[in-house]
Amino acid sequence: MLLNMKRTFEMFVDREGNPPPEFEPSQKVKIATRMAAEYAAVREPPTTMPVASTAAAAGGGDKDVTRIVSRLDEEKRAKEYAAAAAASGSASLVLYAPSTEAAGGGGATAGAGGALVVARRQGPSVPKPTWHAPWKLQSVVSGHLGWVRAIAFDPGNEWFATGSADRTIKVWDLAKCAAGAEGGLKLTLTGHINCIRGLAVSPRHPYMFSAGEDKKVLCWDLECNKVIRHYHGHLSGIYALALHPTLDILITAGRDSVARVWDMRSKQQIHVLAGHTNAVGSLLTNAADPQVITGSHDCTIKLWDLVAGKSFTTLTHHKKAVRALAAGKREFSFVSAAADNMKRWQARDGMFLNNMRGHNAIINTLSSNEDNVLFSGGDNGSITFWDYDTGYPFQKMTSGVQPGSLDAEAGIFCSSFDASGSRLVTGEADKSIKIWREDLEATPETHPIDMKQWAKDYTARRR
Amino acid sequence: MATFLPAPRHQYAVRDDRGAIPTAPSRPKPVIPPYGQRQKFVPRTMADFGDGGAYPEVHVAQYPLGMGKPGANTAAAAGAVGGGGANSSAIVAVDVDASGKVKHDAIVKQGTNRDKLVQTQLNNVKEKAGDTDKLAVPTEDEEIATAERTRLALEKIVGVKVTSATPAGMISQQLATKEAEFVRYTPNPNAPGFNPAAKQRVIRMVEVQQDPLEPPKHKHKKVPRGPPDDPVPVLHSPPRKVTVADQAAWKIPPCISNWKNARGYTIPLDKRLAADGRGLVEATVSHNFATLSESLYIAERKAREETRLRADMTKALALKEKEAKEGELRELAARARMERAGISAPLAAAAGGGVQGEEGGVQGGGGAGDEDERVAAQQRERLRAERKKDRERELRLESMKGNFKKGKVERERDISEKIALGQLKGTGGGAGGEGLYDSRLFNQSAGMSSGFGDESDYNLYSKPMLDRGEGAGIYRPRKSDGDAFGDAEEQMKQLTSTSRFKADRGFKGTEAGVSHRGAEPVQFERDAEEADPFGLDAFLQEATKGGKK
């Protein structure tokens, strides 16, 4: 009895609060699986490098392996490894570091003990792009009498509005238009006296906003389909319009090379974001700082502090006019497009991340969806679909002109994914609206990623 | 030489201005104690540094040339160019980073760029994977916090603008400015009109009252642009040189319009032609049209060929049949002749028929009228041959195409052609007939009065040029039509004699169709019946005759 109690005590009391002991064989299997699945690439260290010390792994390894691994955790673990290695004083290399350092092309890791280990400069590792189904044309809607220059989607995803050079805004039923059925046109709004360049539908109000080259910014009440507000103040044509995602603020930018911030309700102009030296062609708004990003024809991008009404960074990397901007949906970054290149930026501080090369045209529009697909449409009707993260152009094509149009009328002016991200609507120079969708029958086998070419392109441009 | 020359009468005072100009009263030069005696020395002004650097042994914050002086740069930035001197922002203190390297980018991080993120490093143009923390999508808390902060800041701005725009806000504004301000004012003693009794004045400033109902007086004024932001480093390579091909691609020809030419330039014709776009429109006709027309043409030709062949064939067949029939007839005739001559038919049949048979029959006849028969046969032969020739000719003429058919050609010849051919048998003209003469040439004795008639008269020629025998009466009913439409003569007479279609009233002066041609007085003829409507004369004559009776 006493012996039994003692044994029980030994068994449980001293382990109180600790996790139960691990079952050895299952643990082994788990580690083996993880190694095969996640560390296969670095399982065998390169022969020229010193072999990672097993002591470091043994030091804090076991506990870490059992942890639920997220990306952040791995990073932390790598730091621990490095610390352990430094403490032991032995020259060691970090076995696994997150891709931030690997992409830097190697470098030096300084140990606290003064041992400086210089890794050999490696070639850039080619990131593997994620596979996306190719897109194809679903239907063509014609109804406008001029270039279609602006598109906005209803947040409910039932309809979309297009603004055209024929001075009208047309509201279309998405389902009917996509099916090519009759009666897709729901409404035509007139009120502008020049080409309409910016459209936005508010997700919190029954309002739609439009801006045009006639210097007018109008607020339409969608319950009675009438203009209820004018925002007066632009000195020249307006090229872009955006709504703030969280505040009741409207931002327009145009040929007078400023962006103007309007209070939606009182029609007052809150700020004039001046600083560009040429027309501002594109706009982006974010809920977090930078709340406004503008791309201009003076080849710069400015990130604005909305509170102070001043820019806090100017990005001068582009060589040609920046005509389009698109925000990433899964990360806080944005892509800018100019005739020379497309560039991805870190939004918070405007740090340059990577180029997206491959679309050799004057790019008029960019759109991205939640699946990390980025669309770029060119002034010559060329279309490229990109993998947002890696910058891999997975599909290149041209959008044909409507019968009866000139070849020169191939051109894409505006684009937008619908709220679900499964349809893409483009407004074109041949006065048509085209609706694209993913090819559902495509598989990675039928449309494989051309890794060879991609690796070639990727390494070539990093020279 | 001065010894023998007379002394000068006038004296010229030559002023020597070297060193005569009083030097500006210079400020007392600061006394900088020599090295080693600077324990109590504090460099305060720029002059204390004597154009040199800081004194390391003096343990006081020093700003030689104003470098690094707090507030100096911001003041200079606010005044833009106005800084000047040692305080200007053009001079930047050398700063080093953690590794001891000089921070050269300090030069761009001044002025308006002071509190901005300025990208100056090489790393800023290199591709890299971003910072995971910074790339993370903003959390809801962050968004809400940002929105709140921004909302408050913007509401303040909007509030000011809105209240200033409302009537109530305007009143409050006016109230605020209505309070009198007092300004102490010291006039310049050197200014004209200076009153030494009032060395200083206190001025009460009051807002001028405004009529609230006054119409607005605004005038849109162009606000000059503020100073631009300080430049930031340009992080892209210089633009490539423009190649010839690029230049060629950008060459836009001048606009040539067919409607406008404001400056009146002379535009070459080829340019004009190029401008109207006729070269641009390419007539695109489907080549199917060509194939269709070609095949149609071929088919037509074939059909024609076939019909011609068929017609030839039928004609040949007809000819053959005719000949065969003639031959048969001839045989029959021969047989009949032979029978008449007493030679048995079977013999003739045995001879084989035809001409030979006939001849044989004739020879075989051997009758008395041998010679006569031969002559007759020869005559017949000749006639036959003639007839045959005629037939063939007719056939040939008939088979001639279209316009060249015999009759048609004759009918449709032009008059000039006919004259040339001498075929025209007109009233005059022609080779043998009398000529066509101007009627005025005759009857010369009557003078011009007879030669030139009225303008409307058409009597220039004596006769019509052509004697259109059949053409003259084509509109007149013929005699043969009489049975169908009644007696033509009678109808004609009826038509011409009736007064039914005559106007009951003529033009004045032209009554009774008076001809003004002659100069002689109009002669009237007495109508016999009219003169004696009741037959009185006749009665009288009869009476006288009867009296004699």
Contact (CB<8Å) B129/A353: yes
> Which chain B residues touch A249 with a CB distance below 8 Å?
154
Looking at this predicted complex, what is its ipTM? 0.72
d(CA A349, CA A344): 12
> Which chain A residues touch B124 with a CB distance below 8 Å?
351-352
Check residues A3 and B529 and name the one with the higher pLDDT: A3
- Contact map slice: A 214-273 vs B, CB within 8 A: 246-247, 249, 261, 263, 266, 268-271
Whether B2 shows a pLDDT value over 70: the answer reads no
Pinpoint the alpha helices (H) of B342-369. Answer: 345-351, 354-365
Q: What is the 3-state secondary structure (H, E, C) of B10-54?
A: CCCCCCCCCCCCCCCCCCCCCCCCCCCCCCCCCCCCHHHHCCCCC
The HSE-up count of residue B29 (CA atoms within 13 Å, CB side) is: 5
Whether a cis peptide bond, with omega within 30° of 0, leads into A290 is yes
DSSP tag of B123: G
B293: part of which helix (H) or strand (E)?
Answer: helix B287-341
Check residues B320 and B467 and name the one with the higher pLDDT: B320
Judge whether A354 and B135 are in contact, CB under 8 Å.
Answer: no
- Contact map slice: A 98-117 vs B, CB within 8 A: 98-100, 103-104
Q: How confident is the model at residue A64 (pLDDT cuts 50, 70, 90)?
A: very low
State how far residue B166 is from chain A, nearest Cα, in angstroms: 11
d(CA A323, CA A337): 6
C-alpha distances in Å from residue A155, one per residue of A77, A204, A208, A375, B158? 42, 9, 11, 20, 28
Highest mean pLDDT of the ranges B85-94, B126-135, B422-431: B126-135
Whether A15 shows a pLDDT value over 70: the answer reads no
Torsion of Cα atoms, B98 then B100 then B101 then B105, to 10°: 50
Check residues B70 and A72 and name the one with the higher pLDDT: B70
Chain B interface includes A349 (CB < 8 A): yes
B138 closest CB neighbour out of A269, A315, A332? A332
> Which chain B residues touch A286 with a CB distance below 8 Å?
138
Judge whether A454 and A129 are in contact, CB under 8 Å.
Answer: yes
Whether A274 shows a pLDDT value over 90: the answer reads yes
What's the average model confidence in pLDDT over B260-282?
79
Instruction: Determine which of B101-110, B190-199, B499-508 has the lowest per-residue pLDDT on average.
Output: B499-508
Chain B interface includes A351 (CB < 8 A): yes
What does residue A199 show for φ and ψ, rounded to 5 degrees?
A: -140, 145
Chain A interface includes B211 (CB < 8 A): no
Amino acid symbol at A278: N
C-alpha distances in Å from residue A310, one per residue of A257, A302, A303, B112, B279? 14, 10, 9, 10, 55
Check residues A257 and B518 and name the one with the higher pLDDT: A257
Name the percent of chain A lying above pLDDT 90.
Answer: 67
Q: Residue A442: is it exposed, middle or buried by C-beta count within 10 angstroms (0-12/13-18/19+)?
A: middle
What's the average model confidence in pLDDT over A429-433?
95
Check residues B295 and B538 and name the one with the higher pLDDT: B295
Residue A50's closest CA among A98, A107, A80, A90?
A90
Judge whether B199 and B186 are in contact, CB under 8 Å.
Answer: yes
Nearest chain A residue to B113 by CA: give it.
A312
Check residues A393 and B81 and name the one with the higher pLDDT: A393
Tens-place pLDDT, residues B234-258: 999 898 899 999 999 989 877 788 7
> Which chain A residues touch B162 with a CB distance below 8 Å?
266, 268
Check residues B473 and B378 and name the one with the higher pLDDT: B378
The HSE-up count of residue B531 (CA atoms within 13 Å, CB side) is: 7
Sole residue written with tokens 């600790």? A18
Residue A432's closest CA among A384, A391, A400?
A400
Whether A327 shows a pLDDT value over 80: the answer reads yes
Whether A61 shows a pLDDT value over 60: the answer reads no
Whether B99 shows a pLDDT value over 70: the answer reads yes
Q: Residue A329: is it exposed, middle or buried by C-beta count within 10 angstroms (0-12/13-18/19+)?
A: middle
The HSE-up count of residue A358 (CA atoms within 13 Å, CB side) is: 24
User: Which tokens is B64 given?
Assistant: 């030689």
B274: part of which helix (H) or strand (E)?
Answer: helix B269-275
User: Which tokens is B77 given?
Assistant: 């930035």
Contact (CB<8Å) A99/B129: yes
Predicted confidence at residue B499, as pLDDT, reads 67
Beta bridge partners, A261, equal A251, A271
Beta bridge partners, A229, equal A219
DSSP tag of B527: -
> Which chain B residues touch A268 with a CB distance below 8 Å?
158, 161-162, 165
Check residues B501 and B132 and name the one with the higher pLDDT: B132
d(CA B434, CA A63): 146
State how far residue A261 is from chain B, nearest Cα, in angstroms: 10
Contact (CB<8Å) B137/A330: yes
Predicted confidence at residue A163, as pLDDT, reads 97
Predicted confidence at residue B179, as pLDDT, reads 75
Query: How many residues are recorded in chain B?
Result: 549
Predicted confidence at residue B482, as pLDDT, reads 55
DSSP string of A241-255, one letter each residue: EEE-SSSSEEEEEET
What does residue B373 show for φ and ψ, rounded to 5 degrees?
A: -60, -40
Whether B345 shows a pLDDT value over 70: the answer reads no
Chain A interface includes B159 (CB < 8 A): no
Whether B384 shows a pLDDT value over 50: the answer reads yes
Whether A221 shows a pLDDT value over 90: the answer reads yes
What's the average model confidence in pLDDT over B420-433?
60
Other CB atoms within 10 Å distance of the CB of residue A259: 28
With H, G, I as helix, E, B as strand and everything else as coil, classify residue A130.
coil
Whether A293 shows a pLDDT value over 60: the answer reads yes
Instruction: Determine which of A73-82, B208-217, B252-261 has the lowest per-residue pLDDT on average.
Output: A73-82
Name the percent of chain B lying above pLDDT 90.
Answer: 22
Whether A98 shows a pLDDT value over 60: the answer reads no
> Which chain B residues touch A232 with a CB distance below 8 Å?
none
Instruction: Name A232's Cβ contacts closer than 8 Å, sequence gap at least 6.
Output: A217, A267
Domain spans, chain B: 34-75, 285-338
Predicted confidence at residue A167, as pLDDT, reads 95
- Long-range contacts (CB closer than 8 Å, 24 or more residues apart) made by A42-48: A42/A95, A42/A96, A45/A93, A45/A95, A48/A120
Predicted confidence at residue A14, as pLDDT, reads 60
- Contact map slice: A 272-331 vs B, CB within 8 A: 274-275, 277, 286-289, 291, 299, 306-308, 311-319, 330-331
Whether B62 shows a pLDDT value over 80: the answer reads yes
d(CA B72, CA B91): 11
d(CA A359, CA A357): 6
Residue A395's closest CA among A138, A136, A131, A134?
A134
Hey, CA dihedral for A219, A220, A226, A228, is it positive or negative? Answer: negative
Q: In what order do the strands lie in the sheet with A196-201?
A: A196-201, A207-212, A217-221, A226-230
Is pTM, for the whole model, over 0.80? Answer: no
Predicted confidence at residue A448, as pLDDT, reads 93
Whether A44 shows a pLDDT value over 80: the answer reads no
Judge whether A152 and A417 are in contact, CB under 8 Å.
Answer: no
Tens-place pLDDT, residues B178-193: 678 899 989 888 888 8
What's the average model confidence in pLDDT over A78-95?
50
Predicted confidence at residue B410, as pLDDT, reads 66
What's the average model confidence in pLDDT over A240-255?
96
Average pLDDT, chain A: 85
> Which chain B residues touch A103 with a CB distance below 8 Å?
128-129
Whether B72 shows a pLDDT value over 90: the answer reads no
Domains and CATH numbers, chain A: 139-440+453-461 (2.130.10.10)
Residue in B108, B128, B230, B234 to test binding to A, most A beta-carbons within 10 Å: B128
Beta bridge partners, A304, equal A292, A311
Name the percent of chain B lying above pLDDT 70.
Answer: 65
Check residues A100 and B308 and name the one with the higher pLDDT: B308
Q: Residue B511: is it exposed, middle or buried by C-beta count within 10 angstroms (0-12/13-18/19+)?
A: exposed
d(CA B209, CA B186): 27
Contact (CB<8Å) B116/A313: yes
d(CA B497, CA B491): 10
State how far residue A445 is from chain B, nearest Cα, in angstroms: 29
Whether A463 shows a pLDDT value over 70: the answer reads no
Neighbour-count burial for B18-33, b at 16+ CB within 10 Å, e otherwise: eeeeeeeeeeeeeebe
> Which chain B residues touch A315 with a CB distance below 8 Å?
119, 235
Nearest chain A residue to B151 by CA: give it.
A247
DSSP string of A320-368, one letter each residue: S-EEEEEE-SSSSEEEEEESS-EEEEETTTTEEEEEE----S-EEEEEE
Other CB atoms within 10 Å distance of the CB of residue A310: 17
C-alpha distances in Å from residue A14, one per residue of A4, A66, B413? 16, 22, 142
Tens-place pLDDT, residues A116-171: 555 565 666 889 999 999 999 999 999 999 999 999 999 999 999 999 999 999 99
Number of cross-chain residue pairs from A and B with Cβ atoms under 8 Å apart: 134
Predicted confidence at residue B544, as pLDDT, reads 80
d(CA B109, CA B120): 9
User: Which tokens is A364 given?
Assistant: 């008029």
Instruction: Name B199's Cβ contacts closer than 8 Å, sequence gap at least 6.
Output: B186, B187, B189
Average pLDDT, chain B: 77
What's the average model confidence in pLDDT over B370-374?
89
B149: part of which helix (H) or strand (E)?
Answer: helix B140-165
What's the average model confidence in pLDDT over A403-423?
92
Beta bridge partners, A280, equal A296
